[in-house]
Structure 1
């Protein structure tokens, strides 16, 4: 029998343009997000039994250096790197430790201190982990560097050709997420733009303009997870949020089925979502808020279909009728998403967890969605790993 898993505390820093805060290093980020999570949980660091710390760019044991800002208690600290899904992978590992009875209370923390500009490879003297994906993409799409906007943009073009979606549909996603971020004090950008602004911004890879692409960011997020026994012992049920379903998937053989959407993780996303729906006995119609991996607007559109919000080919219809924003069937990325909140790779999944925890508690301030009873999180890293998590309030 597996133990129930609860989120009892969350915290994050404001996401910033790289280098904007002078002298703001990753230990400072971790101290800020971790301290907020501990304060939110109302516990001290010495109750944490294991820590899982995620980052993509950094030296070995940076995870230890980060959490040493919170305390030196000799606990196991596991360093985690899973590309853009690093933060949710740390969350997944912390949840596994609670679920398996290995710990009563665990910390998942993620951070990133990034360089300005497009992402590049660090080690050029060995096989690139995305080489097979990029080679397969090059066989079906014109090649452009850097790889990320090319691969996601190509998947967007494929959807346009197959189902008739238009550049305006992708732009409307950028418009929505920038508009949502105006009410998020943690967001890197808090400025709304007109649809024309989005469409006329600098083209990165047609149909994706700059205002439809996530930026590089500095920042950190943290979540404290606990068992049912720990929640009861410390009287935390009123604030606790239960993880009622969680799945991680990696690439399947059909990743290389000859389509662009498969190469950016479509089949991983479908499988992870279906597993979570089975675990939780919830379906897409049962969620009110969704935080998903909109690294590019094309990915958000494809995720509407992968997560089962609509049938394949019908994502544009959801956008046209406003079903993914306030007043619609779901509010997708009330935080502003990666496009506007920012995307410090190791922190993204934990920032999503924080936003959804606040939404379930009714603590999301101007972003608060009415009547929230269940929420869904999706985070993906190419190469590849997809993590999907469903949450409900503990008392439910």
Structure 2
């Protein structure tokens, strides 16, 4: 039997505004985990290990969350990789199965956040002791530090650099938010399901020029989960119709290029490009083989940067790609049919697994009104400052 790895069950909660629902992190995790097991049609006692991702919380919250699903004594790993936490948990699950250690692993990600903009990961000591202090130091050398939310500021300054270098316009950047909000209308799991015009996006409250509120992902509560299994497990349990193969998956972290003075580079474009190149080389597929993409649009500019990192457009051409309609229904790719982080929401630990859930539904043909026609190959892209980029390629299982 091969060491191929498959997702056979996915589940997630609806993403909610923080403090809008009376639930605990373990309630979210229980809901998502049980949905994933039910989707696979298997019981929890078949699960051998569980990597559990979250960014805000105490040690062993992963155990507390998993205990709500079952008390079987399996190993539980607490995973924190900033905004790439969910995809890191999924990658650990895949490695356990691919390496032959396990036949069935449950990956879960959750987050219970607070209202308002996220900080810059400073802790009590400020940027000097923050794990992303070096990143913000690069930004501060290029653009004066302002009294705006730090994460919006660093991505907003990457947008300014892209505009100055390539002539990208505010309208092109805002079109990302127009598209993703429109996509979210058909996603019952999305935190927001409202459609906005380009004029609405541009007229919204400015967070850090050129980014307005409707171009920024919100803080969110929610959870997502995936059941990851071996080919042997798929066949023994008759799950061929459910199985989506993880064809290739890679994580990269920052190299020296991230600190060369470019704000575009410090927010993760080089590591996203490196991860994409590795998964395409490993799989033998290219970006032209991909039909549907869930990528990390934490801010609208990052979707444009990621187009270029994934090879969908040349450097500087990402704005033109969105303006030409190439990344929505009827275009070459459908990007963020879920609504993306901007509209679906961004509970950090859950985001990467929610992306995998959406791609699983799309490749099974189960995405209802947001279904991408004849989707055969999917891609996920999830990044975290500090940094980590995880890119995965998926297709229907072939048996």
Same fold (TM over 0.5): yes
TM range (shorter): over 0.9
- The CA deviation string for residues 17-66 of structure 1, in whole angstroms up to 9 with x for no partner, is 001112x1111101110010000000000000000000000111000000
**2:4: which partner in 1?**
4
Cα distance, 1:291 vs. partner? 0.2
- 8 Å Cα contact 1:2-1:100 kept in structure 2: no
List, as ranges, runs of 4+ consecutive aligned residues in structure 1 with deviation greater than 4 Å: none
**1:189: which partner in 2?**
192
**2:225: which partner in 1?**
222
- The CA deviation string for residues 332-366 of structure 1, in whole angstroms up to 9 with x for no partner, is 00000000000000000000000000000000000
1:347 aligned counterpart, secondary structure? helix
Q: Give me the CA root mean square deviation.
A: 1.2
- 8 Å Cα contact 2:122-2:130 kept in structure 1: no
**1:64: which partner in 2?**
63
Cα distance, 1:142 vs. partner? 2.2
* Cα distance between partner residues in 2 of 1:123 and 1:262: 24
**2:131: which partner in 1?**
129
**2:297: which partner in 1?**
294
**1:113: which partner in 2?**
112
- 8 Å Cα contact 1:238-1:395 kept in structure 2: no
**2:13: which partner in 1?**
13
- The question of 1:353 aligning with 2:356 is answered yes
- The CA deviation string for residues 171-227 of structure 1, in whole angstroms up to 9 with x for no partner, is 110000000000000000001011110000000111100000000000000001000
Normalising by structure 2, what TM-score? 0.97
**2:29: which partner in 1?**
30
2:97 aligned counterpart, secondary structure? helix
1:139 aligned counterpart, secondary structure? helix
- The CA deviation string for residues 292-335 of structure 1, in whole angstroms up to 9 with x for no partner, is 00000010011000010011111122112100000000000000
**1:143: which partner in 2?**
145
- The CA deviation string for residues 147-182 of structure 1, in whole angstroms up to 9 with x for no partner, is 111111111111111111100001110000000000
**1:264: which partner in 2?**
267
Map residues 1-396 of structure 1 onto 2, 5 A cutoff.
Answer: 3-22=3-22, 24-120=23-119, 121=121, 123-125=123-125, 127-144=129-146, 145-395=148-398
* Cα distance between partner residues in 2 of 1:190 and 1:131: 35
Normalising by structure 1, what TM-score? 0.98
Cα distance, 1:122 vs. partner? 6.8
Q: Unaligned stretches of 5+ in structure 1? A: none
- 8 Å Cα contact 2:49-2:104 kept in structure 1: yes
